[in-house]
Amino acid sequence: KAGVTQTPRYLIKTRGQQVTLSCSPISGHRSVSWYQQTPGQGLQFLFEYFSETQRNKGNFPGRFSGRQFSNSRSEMNVSTLELGDSALYLCASSPGTFTIDEQYFGPGTRLTVT
């Protein structure tokens, strides 16, 4: 099975712009989660989707949004980018039926905001 794929892998944006990141989960997985990884804060939870419904949301401002499509692919959007949004954004998928399932992570999208 192919793993979790994320596109693009690298992105450079300017303050004030918006960005959309994409995640394709492992085939058959219905749950997708997003995390922001920074050296100082570690991994911080952004969203979790299951069957197109947002199951959980982290403590991030409304500039961060996401969605999941019927084929389980997911996108996250960050509007009005700030310098502090520079981070590695990780997507993870799991079968999703049970919260005991381990998550499978993609390689991440490295976002740099200048």
Partner 1 sequence: AQSVAQPEDQVNVAEGNPLTVKCTYSVSGNPYLFWYVQYPNRGLQFLLKYITGDNLVKGSYGFEAEFNKSQTSFHLKKPSALVSDSALYFCAVRDRGNTPLVFGKGTRLSVIA
Site membership for partner 1, residue 105 (CB under 8 A): yes
DSSP state of 3: -
Tokens of 90: 């990780």
Q: Does the footprint of partner 1 cover residue 33 (CB under 8 A)?
A: yes
Judged by CB under 8 A, the stretch of 11-19, 64-72, 77-85, 97-105 that binds partner 1 is 97-105
Tokens of 99: 């919260």
Q: Which amino acid is at 28?
A: G
b (16+ CB within 10 A) / e for 86-102: bbebbbbbbebeeeeee
Residue 25 as a binder of partner 1 (CB under 8 A): the answer is no
Q: Which amino acid is at 56?
A: N
Q: Which is nearer to partner 1, 80 or 99 (CB)?
A: 99
Contacts with partner 1, 42-81, as mask; x by CB under 8 A: xxxx--x------xx-x-----------------------
Tokens of 33: 């989660």
Contacts to partner 1 by CB under 8 A? 4, 33, 35, 41-45, 48, 55-56, 58, 90, 92, 99-100, 102-108
